[in-house]
Amino acid sequence: MTPRTAENGRPAIKALPEPPDLPPPLPEPAVADIRLETVLAALSDPLRLRIVRKLLLESEKFDHTCGWFGLDRPKSSLTHHFKALREAGITRQRQYGLERRSHVRIADLDARFPGLLDLVADWTPPER
């Protein structure tokens, strides 16, 4: 594992290479249009913080469906939160048949807001 920050010993957060031919991403802001206010607002919700953190720390394959997260909420709520993350520029979503899979736009966010994703990865959810 290549560490994300050389100083600490935390596991790496690494952008996975994108396979060549993929379904096009759902509508999302361009890198230059990602706004700090919007990103912070999107990340101020504990559920979305959990989603992004889990994507950062536990991603195995290229991207993951809503169901992979094991969130105990109705589907309509999940749609809401995943849409918020995508429209803020935090995640990218692609349609694979029926499934809509998400991953974090690591390179884009690192370029725009260096260090931000480390804070998310280090976050600990509030107990109970």
Q: Is 53 in the site for DNA (CB under 7 A)?
A: no
**Partner from DNA, its own copies, none contacting 37, C-beta within 5 to 8 A by type:** its own copies
Residue with structure tokens 């909420």? 73
CB 85 within 8 A of CB 11: no
CB 118 within 8 A of CB 66: no
Q: CB of residue 14 vs its own copies: minimum separation in angstroms?
A: 18
**Partner from DNA, its own copies, none contacting 97, C-beta within 5 to 8 A by type:** DNA
Q: Is 101 in the site for DNA (CB under 7 A)?
A: yes
Give one DSSP letter per residue of 59-100, joined into a string: --SS-B-GGGG---S-HHHHHHHHHHHHHHTSEEEEEETTEE
Q: Is 66 in the site for DNA (CB under 7 A)?
A: yes
- Sign of the CA dihedral running 28, 31, 37, 39: positive
Rule CB under 8 A: which residues touch its own copies?
A: 35-38, 40-41, 43-46, 49, 113-116, 118-120, 123, 126
Rule CB under 7 A: which residues touch DNA?
A: 41, 44-45, 47-48, 65-67, 73-84, 93, 97-101
